[in-house]
A and B are shown apart, each in its own frame.
Chain A
Amino acid sequence: MSLMQRIQQYMETGLGDFNELALAVFSYQYHHCDSYREYCNQLHKSPDQIDTWQQIPAVSTDVFKEFDLCTLPLSTATYVFQTSGTTQESKGKHYYHDMTLYDTAIKNSFMSGIGLSNQDKPVFRVLTPSFVDVPTSSLFYMFQNVIEWYGQAQSQFYFHQNELNCDALLEDLLDDVAHYRPVVLLGTAFSFVNLCDYLKANAVTIQLPMGSRLLETGGLKGRARTVTRGELYDLFNHYLGLDLSFCFSEYGMTELSSQCYSRPNTHVFQSPHWMQTRVIDPQSGSEVAIGDQGLVQFFDLANYTAVSSVVTSDLAIRQDNGFELIGRAHKAVLRGCSTLFEK
């Protein structure tokens, strides 16, 4: 059985030893990704110098913006997912040659992440562009596939030509209400804010049919305003009639191949068993105590052909068996007469 097959089996069944697989993945990545190997050598951390997955050198999400972290030739990649950002900013890239593990991650976490099973066939109403429209987005890839695998035929995307079509979405939601048809709304936090703004402007509140639910993802800081998670969930309750037990949150990023979901009735994220999470102290690199704050770091087995150990810029409080996001780490503030020296 190949290493990829072993990882897939572990993802599907949980049978096997995470540490053993992680060390095998590290060895593969070390030997096939030149820039990562050079970095590890500098730290004196080669596969024969490491015993546990926690010791495996992590790369910063910033490294994905400057280096192509891939164990296979870039020219043969079938998908290249890119981080979002302005045109001036460099974007992180994640190359895929085979979507097996990515799809396995979705199939083994998405539906349970929103409190459903893979046998359910809900109607999805998606507040983002489709993957056809934006073929570089890992999030839209996931939503597109979820609809194809699990959605009813009337599931659809409502974001076209840089605009959320609130009129069409409202019309369809009212039809769902009239027919007692439970729906699953998928979108970024700010696409939901836009929807709620629209409902407010039109003095409309909806009580979605029983069994409906919602999944939001992405940051709470928009271009023009910031909302708190509490405010967001109040909007869901007020305008859509969904209380916390039917609202779920997803945490994912281009640099990873797996996603975390909030535990029911909480804002605590839990990663799937094939992706271990640590909340680390940035100064020591060691895991903080439960209740303490640090940066979120992952080891994602499904990141097989990139680098699995990734440290993010997201700050979180470590919780028992999970983490609660508290925002992005501030960029070091440029003070006084000393400012960034940019090319």
Chain B
Amino acid sequence: MIMKQHIQSLVTIAHHWLDKKNDLRLQAIHEGASQFCLSKANFELALDWIFSQWTDTTIAGFYAKNPYKHIQYAAQILAGNTPAIIAQGFLQGAILQVPQCIKLPSQQSCFAELLYQSFLIHANELAHLFEINTWQHDLSVFYSKLKKADLVIAYGHDETMTELKQAVSPNAVYLAHGHAESIAIIFKDAMNDLSLKNLAYDMLSYDQRGCLSPRLTYIEEGGAWSPEEFARKFAEDVLPTIAEQLPRGGLFLGESEEILHQRIVHGFRGRVFNGHDWTVCYTERHVVTTALPRFMIMSPFANGSALKDYLNPVRSSLVSIGVAGVLQDSELLTFIPEKTRVCALGEMQKQLLFL
């Protein structure tokens, strides 16, 4: 009964956040978007995607499969690269149904505080389980709470994950979400306009600031278009229009300088297409990606075996693969780690990672 009430409360919260006239939503868009360096249009799209997934069926499923029913006290450390991680933290906190401290990213706390307000309004009994703060100036207090937790969920840099591990009780379950990467694969049977459009949305939403955004796109040879032609169509015919609908947000310190340098370096490696707020590099070299916003690297591949070789160095950190076409190569299928989510292109951001 309580669980049903909670599910209903969470669905109500989502419903309010999907309401374009909702004051908290409007305030979050007005004040919170820039904290994530996202444009208002992109932040709005993010809110729509996030909360459209808070359905009773999905949430009930999470409650049913919650493997941490035995815990007494939890701690969550949320990263600030996208609003999705913040929302996810609150949702999983609700499903855990235990008292917990939630450490917010100090520079991106606005959306979290507004979301907490909607918990106070629509799910007061859940809101009272949460202690939210940045503990920016009082880390020792936070660490003492961390020590008490028997479940710790953390997002951030690998270095932060290692550092936190020292502070977590040895008996606690520690779920560290550090380094992660996502890629897109375009198979030759999917060389079409829909793939171009889906890839553009997956790239531009969240300005590639989250780990679910593809940074590298591998394009199979032998299709209706050559991989280079696919890259050209993507950059010249599709991306500019969608980029106009979803303009880039701000840039963090050093990003504009790095974009300039990377465009030049990639111009030597292959071909660069760019608008004022996006870059597409096509190269036949196997290269490293960058952490830059709206910076896509595209490369061709001959077959599943070749692609496997390209992906091998990052296999362990692959969190998501967006696929256009049919992934049926048995070698590739066995190569992709079980924990990696394989989804359709265009759906890469539309996922709720639970615990």
Contacts and interface: CB of A to CB of B under 8 A. Distances in A.
Contacts of B125: none
B252 A335 contact: yes
B85 A336 contact: yes
B80 A335 contact: yes
B209 A336 contact: yes
A313 B261 CA distance: 8
B210 A337 contact: yes
A62 B264 contact: yes
A203 interface: no
Nearest to B261: A60
Interface stretch (A35-43, A118-126, A216-224, A264-272): A35-43
Interface stretch (B18-26, B44-52, B112-120, B177-185): B177-185
Interface in A259-316: 282-283, 285, 295, 311, 313, 315
Interface stretch (B167-175, B289-297, B328-336, B344-352): B289-297
B155 interface: yes
Interface string B284-315: 00111111100000000000000000000110
A332 B291 CA distance: 7
Contacts of B79: 335-337
B259 interface: yes
A338 interface: yes
A315 to B, nearest CB: 7
A313 B155 CA distance: 31
A171 interface: no
A332 B268 contact: no
Interface residues of A, number: 35
Given A58-B264, A282-B259, A336 B81 contact: yes
A330 B291 contact: no
B271 interface: yes
Given A58-B264, A330-B254, A333-B252, A341 B288 contact: yes
B272 to A, nearest CB: 7
A338 B289 CA distance: 11
A335 B264 contact: no
B210 A342 contact: no
A201 to B, nearest CB: 34
Interface residues of B, number: 51
B215 A341 contact: yes
B292 A311 contact: no
B260 A332 contact: no
A332 to B, nearest CB: 4
A63 interface: yes
Interface in B200-219: 208-211, 213, 215-216
A45 to B, nearest CB: 11
A134 to B, nearest CB: 27
A334 B263 CA distance: 18
A179 interface: no
A62 to B, nearest CB: 5
Given A311-B260, A341-B289, A39 B210 contact: no
Nearest to A67: B268
Given A329-B254, A335-B209, A285 B264 contact: no
Contacts of A42: 267, 271-272
Contacts of A282: 256-257, 259-260
B314 A330 contact: no
B313 A335 contact: no
Contacts of A315: 257
A39 B263 CA distance: 11
Contact of B258 (A39, A61, A329): A329
Contacts of B264: 39, 58-60, 62-63, 311
B253 interface: yes
B46 to A, nearest CB: 14
B209 A332 contact: no
A43 B317 CA distance: 36
Contacts of B259: 282-283, 332
Interface in A38-85: 38-39, 42-43, 58-63, 66-67
Given A60-B261, A295-B257, A329-B257, A343 B286 contact: yes
Given A331-B254, A335-B80, A337-B211, 17 more contacts: A39-B268, A42-B267, A60-B261, A62-B261, A282-B259, A283-B260, A295-B257, A329-B254, A332-B290, A332-B291, A333-B291, A336-B81, A337-B155, A339-B179, A339-B180, A340-B289, A340-B290
27 contacts: A42-B272, A59-B264, A59-B268, A63-B264, A66-B265, A66-B268, A66-B269, A282-B256, A282-B259, A283-B260, A295-B260, A330-B253, A330-B254, A332-B254, A335-B81, A336-B156, A336-B210, A337-B81, A337-B177, A337-B179, A337-B319, A338-B180, A338-B208, A338-B213, A339-B291, A340-B291, A341-B215
The 5 closest A-B pairs by CB, nearest first: A336-B81, A330-B254, A329-B257, A336-B79, A337-B211
Interface of A: 35, 38-39, 42-43, 58-63, 66-67, 282-283, 285, 295, 311, 313, 315, 329-343
